[in-house]
Structure 1
Amino acid sequence: MARVHFRWNPKNRYSIAALGGVLDFDLVRKPEAGIMLYSFASPQARSVFREVGSASTDSVFIAGGPHPSGCPGETLEHFDYVVVGEGEETLPDLVSTLNHGGDVSGVKGIAYKKDGKVIFTPKRGEADLDGHPPFKPPLFGPIEITRGCPWSCAYCQTPRLFGHHMRHRSVEAICKYDKFYEDKRLVSPNAFAYGSDGITPDEAAVENLLKSLSGNIYFGTFPSEVRPEFVTPRMLELVNAYCANREIHLGGQSGSDRMLKAIHRGHTAAQVLDAVELTHDNGLTPVVDFIFGLPGEREEDQQLTVDCINAIIKEGGKVRAHYFMPLPGTELADTKPEKISPTIDKLLGKLALGGRLTGSWSDVKALKKQ
């Protein structure tokens, strides 16, 4: 049987840790003979393709993660198989089939090439989070508490990868992994949506979760965020009562209602500012993410976002600004970022130099020129 190796990548360590709970493999830093596993997002795709393309090992290459799932055809120009979507059940099935010389066409949830054509096997059902551990020591990662999202934000891969309804790991299953950490970091597309349908908050479910955990709980902050309309007085009371974090990370995305509607965000700019004010009034620091360069964005939309940023800063909040990157599998996959007007660019530069603007803004000068 071929040995199974996973290409270590610190940017995808959470996925690697989660898959360590369902499959045995070695971590490697270069291709090795046997079965080689890769999980990667779009920013890493080019370097991964170069590495695999130049490999001289006797290997079967399997890819999974956001980019391969969104671009299986492109990925199969370099890899033998792609795991499309969730990997907890598909990947062990594929590896076992390969090691036993079985027919891969019977493995649900994969793509591969046959006679030059891309073949997709039937879609696999959604994974039961309680049936799969979030990690297996000695590989550790944050505890994923929720998967899927009912919103269809045009730029986001989450609902395309994990479905349009929320699946929650039970409190009992989460608490099995409580003992491994003093500092508890929980992963969710929207932390304050725990236990709910993702449309209306379930404050009782959130309280039940938080009071069941021990140690230092980080909730509604990295590596998760919350939607602004889920910020309620009771949610913030719960954070103050049970959690160690003093920041709340919010997804604002734009200060323009026109753009928020265009990307199907489902909230208004006023709701972002309301959430910021409420967070500040409860003694917590709001940290808000915005995206510039969204397709169809005009200078007046960018100005509205800058106005929103200034209002947040005056309220004592922090802002993380990013430049739009089209991601495969999303509604905006085949679009190009809009240019940032010189006036807006200068305003953002001043905010960044003043230490009031963080995020990836300082790293996108080259991208903005494309």
Structure 2
Amino acid sequence: MNMAPDLSKKRLRLRIIIPVYPAFNIYSHLANKTTALGPVCVASAANEMEGWDAEIIDENNLRRHGPRSDSVGADHEFLQRIRPADVVGFYGGLTSTIPRLYEIARFYKDKGIMTIAGGQHFVKDNIVEALNSCIDYVVIGEGEETIKELLGAIEGKRDVSEIKGIVYLDNGKVTHTPKRAPITDFNKLPLPDFSLVRYAKIKIYPVERIRGCGMDCEFCTVKGKPRHAPPERLLEQISFLVETQDARYFFVVDDLFGQERDETIRFCQMLGDYQKNIGIRLDVTVQIRLDKAKDPQLLSAMRQAGINTVAIGFESPIEEELNAMNKHLRPEDMLAMANVFHKFGFLLHGMFIFGYPVKEGVNFKMSARERIRRFKNFIRKAKIDTIQVLLAGPLPGTELRRRLAMQNRLYPIRDVGWEYYDGNFPLFEPDEPMTAEEMQSSGRKIMGKFYQFKRMFMIVLNIFSFPALIFSLHNIKSGWRRWYRPWRNDLICFGGWIVMKKWATQFKKDKFLERLQKAKERLKVKGAV
């Protein structure tokens, strides 16, 4: 039975937990340098409430002083002993962390603590799964307003049934309250307060201006009409972090930087002016559509603002797969546009999806070997600085998942659980003639060609060539740029090789291949019925 918080206390504590990744993966090397923005926004809103203190525990970023359990993640027994939480929230933005989320929720539930969860994983049947897995309330959509109302209800100031955008059990019955409208006035929200993230050491700060995306990609969970905050708010987020946290590195999490073009250019001009005024150069990374290469004014403004790296979803060099994703680009056009970004001096991080299933009725078959060849050739021709190649992932709530489910191609969760939904494992029967085993090994082969041990020798060579290059040029700034790019890329690629080696070692210890065989057999039986 869930216990209500002790309202006689002078102050109550909300603890929001970001669950640890289930296994070492390509994000692990970044996880201890940053954190998720959503929980920070929600905690910042709750922290404004009278009588409440909010904190965030990011299990991926506990750093030196964070209490670690003997198994994995944080030591919640220790946390609850030294700083008891009255209400605990959980970030469910990454499907692969859901089993860990339920594990921690069970710990707090056994202690009589009220539990709340939110994030993109919680849609349809997954909501009921959460309510049956020690979660008291599931928040649907954005949480800044909902959390304040929920905490108010916990204090007895309002009825839970009046709160929009939540799901809960009422005498064993699943109860949905009316949908909450998306936030449109972002200025009424507090700035994200990263000091609420206990123990973490943050180097790369996530910031935002736009929520939503109108591109309608079949595989993506981010939908809805884009909603924009004024450029001044994004600049305020950045300047506040520079002045209070000595921040230098930022990642704009907007799915498509460059939406609302004129205001984006105005923001870039403001950010450039701000850096001139304080005499500090910032390093900013954004996600952007490839076709923004057709807008030289935007690209020039971005470079002047200190935006150095662009993360671009190339997705695939195979036209049939691009069509299935609802992408409206041809591979040859993508190469030309990638070259434009290079000419403007951007570092390109290319994001790819391997093994994307084409839609029914499309006469297309390609071997794994040919797919690998196409990917390698495209990456080489596009001269991409860094890459990530993930397997197609039918995430909850996406059109892709619905399509594969209707085709009876999804592997059952009982065999291939949520913990494998991190882009490194096959989750469905791939298009013929490729097998699931080939699909998994193919992604590693492409990454293995890019991230190699030999890059270590290039790092050393670049270090020795640095003085000669600099002093042989009259333009030192130009010389630095010519030297820095290959040195930086070799350094990252060698680090990527280390990451892949660690992942391969852990994969050998895992029993995924056994689970995969069971899933395939179960799928065959289901299809034969």
Alignment of 1:47-66 (within 5 A): 47-55=100-108, 56-66=110-120
1:186 aligns with 2:238: no
Q: C-alpha displacement at 1:58, in angstroms?
A: 1.6
Q: Tell whether the 8 Å contact from 1:255 to 1:305 is kept in structure 2 after alignment.
A: no
Q: C-alpha displacement at 1:6, in angstroms?
A: 1.7
Residues 99 and 328 of structure 1: is their aligned pair in 2 closer, same or farther, counting only changes over 3 Å?
same
Residue matched to 1:122: 178
Q: Cα deviation per residue 1:337-368 (whole Å; 9 max; x = unaligned)?
A: 33263794685265145366959977486698
Q: Tell whether the 8 Å contact from 1:148 to 1:165 is kept in structure 2 after alignment.
A: yes
CA distance in 1 between counterparts of 2:315 and 2:352 reads: 4
CA distance in 2 between counterparts of 1:155 and 1:62 reads: 27
Amino acid at match of 1:331: E
Amino acid at match of 1:192: G
Amino acid at match of 1:207: I
Residue matched to 1:176: 236
Residue matched to 2:99: 46
1:68 aligns with 2:107: no
Q: C-alpha displacement at 1:305, in angstroms?
A: 6.5
1:23 aligns with 2:78: no
Q: Cα deviation per residue 1:17-63 (whole Å; 9 max; x = unaligned)?
A: 21132112134552655211111221110011122224421211100
Q: Tell whether the 8 Å contact from 1:299 to 1:341 is kept in structure 2 after alignment.
A: no
Q: C-alpha displacement at 1:190, in angstroms?
A: 0.9
Residue matched to 2:15: 6
Residues 272 and 367 of structure 1: is their aligned pair in 2 closer, same or farther, counting only changes over 3 Å?
farther
Helix, strand or coil for the counterpart of 2:378? helix
Residue matched to 1:267: 329
Residues 239 and 101 of structure 1: is their aligned pair in 2 closer, same or farther, counting only changes over 3 Å?
closer
Residue matched to 2:68: none
Residue matched to 1:205: 263
CA distance in 2 between counterparts of 1:346 and 1:174 reads: 37
2:218 to 144, 154, 158: 154
Residues 306 and 107 of structure 1: is their aligned pair in 2 closer, same or farther, counting only changes over 3 Å?
farther
**Number of aligned residue pairs:** 354
Gaps of 5+ in 1: 196-201
Helix, strand or coil for the counterpart of 1:142? strand
Residue matched to 2:145: 89
Amino acid at match of 2:16: R
Helix, strand or coil for the counterpart of 1:96? helix
**Structure whose CA Rg is larger:** 2
Amino acid at match of 2:148: P
1:167 aligns with 2:264: no
Q: Tell whether the 8 Å contact from 1:151 to 1:266 is kept in structure 2 after alignment.
A: no
Helix, strand or coil for the counterpart of 1:341? helix
CA distance in 1 between counterparts of 2:369 and 2:331 reads: 13
Query: Over the residues paired in the alignment, what is the CA RMSD in angstroms?
Result: 3.1
Q: Tell whether the 8 Å contact from 2:269 to 2:301 is kept in structure 1 after alignment.
A: no
CA distance in 2 between counterparts of 1:267 and 1:289 reads: 15
Residue matched to 1:313: 380
Q: Tell whether the 8 Å contact from 2:219 to 2:395 is kept in structure 1 after alignment.
A: yes
Q: C-alpha displacement at 1:291, in angstroms?
A: 0.9
Q: Cα deviation per residue 1:280-315 (whole Å; 9 max; x = unaligned)?
A: 222323221001132349535883574244233244
Alignment of 1:221-232 (within 5 A): 221=285, 224-232=286-294
Q: C-alpha displacement at 1:130, in angstroms?
A: 2.4
1:132 aligns with 2:185: no
Q: Tell whether the 8 Å contact from 1:152 to 1:265 is kept in structure 2 after alignment.
A: no
Amino acid at match of 2:165: G
Q: Tell whether the 8 Å contact from 1:146 to 1:166 is kept in structure 2 after alignment.
A: yes
Q: Tell whether the 8 Å contact from 1:293 to 1:324 is kept in structure 2 after alignment.
A: yes
Amino acid at match of 2:216: S
Amino acid at match of 1:179: F
Residues 101 and 284 of structure 1: is their aligned pair in 2 closer, same or farther, counting only changes over 3 Å?
closer
Residue matched to 2:320: 258
Residue matched to 2:449: 351
Residues 173 and 240 of structure 1: is their aligned pair in 2 closer, same or farther, counting only changes over 3 Å?
closer
Amino acid at match of 2:228: H
Q: Tell whether the 8 Å contact from 2:311 to 2:348 is kept in structure 1 after alignment.
A: yes
Q: C-alpha displacement at 1:109, in angstroms?
A: 0.3
Residue matched to 2:71: none
Residues 37 and 350 of structure 1: is their aligned pair in 2 closer, same or farther, counting only changes over 3 Å?
closer
Helix, strand or coil for the counterpart of 1:135? coil
Q: C-alpha displacement at 1:99, in angstroms?
A: 1.5
Residue matched to 2:89: 37
Helix, strand or coil for the counterpart of 2:213? coil
CA distance in 1 between counterparts of 2:114 and 2:132 reads: 13
Q: C-alpha displacement at 1:86, in angstroms?
A: 0.6
Moved more, 208-217 or 262-271: 262-271
CA distance in 2 between counterparts of 1:117 and 1:291 reads: 40
Q: Tell whether the 8 Å contact from 2:44 to 2:191 is kept in structure 1 after alignment.
A: yes
1:323 to 364, 377, 391: 391
2:166 to 110, 121, 126: 110
Amino acid at match of 1:191: F
Gaps of 5+ in 2: 1-6, 21-30, 48-53, 58-73, 198-204, 276-280, 359-363, 411-426, 431-435, 456-492, 517-529
CA distance in 2 between counterparts of 1:58 and 1:33 reads: 11
Q: Cα deviation per residue 1:168-198 (whole Å; 9 max; x = unaligned)?
A: 11022223332322524422101122x2xxx
TM-score (norm 1): 0.83
Moved more, 209-218 or 7-16: 7-16
